């Protein structure tokens, strides 16, 4: 772990994103953001490598491969994006970070990730969606992901009866 992760975890602010404080059943609609979150993580990985920088949650276990390049607005935008995602990942607990690193970024299967992390496959199968949901919630809070739908304002139900203070005019 680099010093940056320690700094980012310490600067998480007042919101506690640790496993004890986060409830996976609190917002069941977060599962709708899993694909977006996964796509952001993969983009983050590609851009980090293109910048010549290894994502800190991967540690030193990286073997350089061929990386395709695609256009992005500017180098500064890339640096800001990578930094923002690093900060969000730093707010996750260590197991969630390792699950995302192994399964999403490195492409290991659940069985392989379980072997590397020293846990059973069911733990990976159960905790990875929770980690993605938790990260989706963080992305929504910081504005990396926009909400799919804004909660509609309470609409009054139409009523067939008249109110007591209404005046009925018959012509």
Predicted TM-score (pTM) of this structure: 0.66
Domain assignment of residue 158, yes or no: no
Mean pLDDT confidence for 121-148:
92
Label residue 13 by pLDDT band (50, 70, 90): very low
Mean pLDDT confidence for 111-134:
94
Domain assignment of residue 164, yes or no: no
Number of domains in the chain: 1
Q: What average pLDDT does the chain have?
A: 74
Torsion of CA 31, 77, 150, 33, to 10 degrees: -10
Domain assignment of residue 30, yes or no: yes
**What pLDDT does residue 29 have?**
84
Token readout for 166 is: 């209404």
Do you know the residue count of the chain?
171
Domain assignment of residue 55, yes or no: yes
> Distance (Å, rounded) from C-alpha 10 to C-alpha 7?
5
How many of the other CB atoms lie within 10 Å of CB of 34?
A: 16
Domain assignment of residue 116, yes or no: yes
Strand runs labelled E in the chain: none
Domain assignment of residue 151, yes or no: no
Label residue 71 by pLDDT band (50, 70, 90): very low
Work out the angle between the directed axes of helices 75-90 and 34-50 (0-180°, nearest 10).
120
Sequence-distant (≥ 6) Cβ neighbours of residue 157 within 8 angstroms: none
The domain containing residue 98 runs over which residues? Answer: 3-142
Domain assignment of residue 149, yes or no: no
Phi, psi of 85 (to 5 degrees): -65, -40
Domain assignment of residue 152, yes or no: no
Angle among Cα 113, 142, 100 to the nearest 5 degrees reads 5
């Amino acid at each position: 772990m680099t010093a940056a992760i320690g700094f980012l975890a310490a600067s998480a602010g007042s919101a506690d994103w640790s496993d004890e404080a986060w409830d996976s059943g609190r917002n069941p609609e977060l599962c709708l953001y899993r694909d977006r979150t996964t796509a952001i993580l993969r983009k983050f990985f590609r851009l980090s490598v293109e910048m010549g920088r290894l994502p800190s949650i991967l540690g030193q276990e990286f073997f350089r491969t061929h990386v395709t390049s695609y256009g992005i607005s500017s180098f500064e935008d890339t640096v800001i994006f990578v930094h923002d995602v690093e900060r969000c990942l730093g707010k996750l607990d260590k197991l969630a970070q390792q699950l995302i690193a192994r399964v999403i970024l490195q492409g290991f299967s659940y069985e392989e990730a379980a072997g590397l992390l020293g846990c059973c496959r069911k733990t990976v199968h159960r905790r990875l969606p929770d980690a993605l949901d938790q990260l989706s919630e963080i992305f929504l809070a910081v504005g990396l992901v926009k909400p799919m739908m804004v909660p509609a304002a309470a609409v009054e139900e139409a009523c067939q009866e008249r109110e007591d203070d209404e005046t009925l005019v018959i012509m």
